[in-house]
Copies of this chain bind each other. A is one copy, B any other.
Amino acid sequence: MSEIKPHIAFAEGWGIWSDEGSWISARFPSPQLLPLNTSLPHSIDNALLAQKSQLLSLSPPEKRNRYLAVACRTDIPPTTAMDAYLRLHLLSHRLLKPNQVNLDDIFTVLPTVAFTHRGVFTLNELDKELKKTDSEVHIYSIDKFPALCDYVVPTGVRIADARRVRLGAYLGEGTTVMHEGFVNYNAGTEGPNMVEGRISAGVFVAAHSDLGGGCSIMGTLSGGNQTQISVGQHCLIGANAGIGISLGNGCTIEAGLYLTAGAIVSVLDEHNHPQKTVKAKDLSQHDNLLFRRHSLNGRIECLPNPHPIALNPQLH
C-alpha cells in the first residue's frame, strides 16, 4: 500500500469503555483529515504519530460512555481499536475513498463484540448478561465491524436494510442500497448508484452503475481471489451475475452470468462474428463491452455494448 498519501487524521467523539478495561467502539461525528504538520489539540504529538496512533480519554474515568480524542497517520497500519474506528469513519464520512487509508491488520486490532439493542458489549459482558433471569438482549451482530448507520448517516442515500452496510463503507451521494445489497468496509460507490448486489472489501464502483439483485463482485479476503476489482461508470451487472475482473465504463454483464478471471471468452465484432478468444482478465477495465452466455451453445461472448445502462432518476 505504498501509494497511500500520508495525512493526519484526528477526531473527538464518544467511545465505549468496557468493564474489562478496553475501548470497544466509538462514534466520531466530525473526523478531520489534516496535513502532516498540523498542530493538534490535547497535546497529541505529531512526531509520535509516525510510529503509532494516540488516544486521550477526556472524560471522568468512571463512565462507560467516554469522550475521547484520537489521532493517527493514515499511511501506517492501525495500532488500536479506536484508531481503526477513526479510519473507518474517514471512509464513511467521505474524507477518503476505499484503498486510500492503510487498514493492514485491522482484523487483529478490532475486537469481536456484540452489537445489541442495548448497546455494545464485550463477549464476556454479554455472557454475564445472558445468565441473568429475565434479561433480554436482542443481538444485531457479533462482529468486528458495526453497521454504518448507527455511526454515520451519509447525506443523500437510501439504505433499505441497515445491517448490510458496514462502517467503513463509502457511499456517494445518490446511492441506493436495496435489501439485497451489501457494502463491506473499505468499499463503496461514487454515487449515484443502485446497489442490489454485494460490494466486497477493496472494491469501488463508479457513478451511474447498477449492481443487480444478488450479483457478486469477487473480493480478496476469502475465496482465493488475489486481484482487487473496480467497476467503471454506466455499468450493469445483471441479477445473480458476478465478476472476477474489473470493468471499464459502459459494460454490461448479462443476468446470471458469472465471469471469472480465467474464463475463456469469445470476442465478437458488431456483426456478431467471432474475432478471437481471450481470457476474461485480458478484458479487465476495457470500456463498452457486453458479456453474455450464448443460450444455444453455452459460449461466453463479449461484444460491443449496444445499450449501456441508465439509472432511473426517481430512485436516487
Contacts and interface: CB of A to CB of B under 8 A. Distances in A.
Main secondary structure on A side of the interface with B: loop
Given A29-B130, A223-B236, A238-B223, A182 B182 contact: no
A19 interface: no
Interface residues of A, number: 92
Contact of A182 (B145, B162, B180, B260): B180
A161 interface: yes
Considering residues A112, A145, A258, which has the most beta carbons from chain B within 10 angstroms of its beta carbon? Answer: A258
Given A255-B260, A296-B298, 16 more contacts: A14-B133, A107-B315, A123-B155, A138-B150, A139-B149, A218-B255, A222-B312, A223-B236, A224-B236, A224-B309, A239-B242, A254-B258, A256-B260, A295-B300, A296-B299, A297-B299
28 contacts: A14-B133, A14-B134, A65-B133, A105-B314, A108-B314, A112-B158, A117-B117, A127-B153, A139-B147, A139-B162, A141-B160, A143-B159, A143-B160, A198-B214, A240-B240, A240-B241, A240-B258, A241-B256, A242-B255, A242-B256, A255-B258, A256-B257, A256-B260, A264-B296, A266-B296, A294-B298, A295-B299, A296-B299
